[in-house]
Amino acid sequence: MKTTDTKGLQQILKALMDPYKQRVPDVEKITSAMVENAMIGNTDDIVNDHIAFRTLGVPHLGIASFEKIFLHYGYSKRDYYYFEGKKLNAYWYAPPSPDFPRIFISELRVDDMSEEVQGIIHKYAGNLKGDPVDQLDLDNPQEVGDFFYKPLWQLPTLPDFNALAKESEYAAWVIYNRYYLNHYTISVHDLPETYNTIEKFNTFLESIGIQLNSSGGKIKTSADGLLKQSSSIAHMIDAEFADGETSKIAGSYVEFAERLPLPGHVKQSGLVERAQRRDGFESANADKIFESTYSEQTKTLK
Ligand code: OOG
Ligand code: NI
């Protein structure tokens, strides 16, 4: 049974955001500079456009498992996206009310990978007895919040991690980072005029030392011109592997989105509601945003 427990959903989002802020120092850096520059009074004034998760497309896991959490809390499943080169599927989910973020969930098309990579993934994530989400009491937000950090498979060895990364940096990312929040997204069009475009906000971000993902250009623009996105390069975390070896690997990142008014809704009053702006996502933008955790980008980190 679906629930309309918005307090519960709030609690789940908080359980995601708190560890995320710990893992991604850029979040605090950006939000405190936003306060200093009077863009916002405090963090609560930031509109979170969407959050994103990554999963592995194997039995009992993947989108089909993970989405149950948010469908239960009133999200509705929307468009499908296919990323041929990266071998990924994704969907986005519309929130039960506009004060909650959209959700973007992707999964690795494991069957499309080489035998070697499939072997490694199945070694870790291939022996689940059932869908772990089915074993959760979804009505209990505390239990759901803890679930994101529950190891569903063993920690990888560094050689296995590296073998995955060679063929799919996405696969390596999920094997280590699991269901940790991949990013949250600051809604730029909701900010005061001096900062309310992706161009102006990027200039601000770079002025405070945030390094932006340059794959496909720092600004990713949808074909209709109405969805503009940029993102930071993922923060490197100290990872400890199964065999005791340690290495710095990509953690999570921050995204920035500007949604322009749909034709016919160009501001009369200056105030444009969420429903009157470009909704959803854009494959070509997303394809490049995934690379915020890829070594081609992280190797440029100073
Ligand atoms: C998601 C990349 C796509 C968007 O807004 O299009 C995305 C990821 O890196 O897992 O976030
Ligand atoms: Ni995103």
pLDDT digits (tens, 9 = 90+) for 123-148: 999 989 999 999 999 999 999 999 99
Whether the CB of 54 sits within 6 Å of ligand 1? yes
Instruction: Kindly state if the Cβ of 298 falls inside 6 Å of ligand 1.
Output: no
How high is the pLDDT of residue 172? 98
- Beta carbon of 106 within 6 Å of any ligand 1 atom: yes
**What's residue 272's pLDDT?**
82
pTM for this one? 0.97
Q: Which numbered atom of ligand 1 lies nearest the CA of 50? A: 5
Question: From the CA of 220, which ligand is nearest?
Answer: 1
Q: What's the pLDDT score for residue 3?
A: 84
Q: Do residues 259 and 200 lie in contact, with contact meaning Cβ atoms separated by under 8 Å?
A: no
Atom of ligand 1 nearest to the CA of 53: 10
**Contact 182 CB / ligand 1 (< 6 Å):** yes
Ligand 2 centroid distance, CA of 230 (Å): 9
Atom number in ligand 1 closest to CA 281 = 6
Taking the domain 6-298, which CATH number applies?
3.10.180.50
Domain positions in the chain: 6-298
Question: What is residue 268's predicted lDDT score, i.e. its pLDDT?
Answer: 55
Q: Residues with Cβ within 5 Å of ion ligand 2?
A: 52, 255
Nearest CA to ligand 1 atom 4: 286
- Which ligand is the nearest neighbour of the Cα of 48? 2
Which parts of the chain have pLDDT scores under 70?
Answer: 1, 267-270
CA of 265 to the centre of ligand 1 (A): 27
Cβ(286) to ligand 1 under 6 A? yes
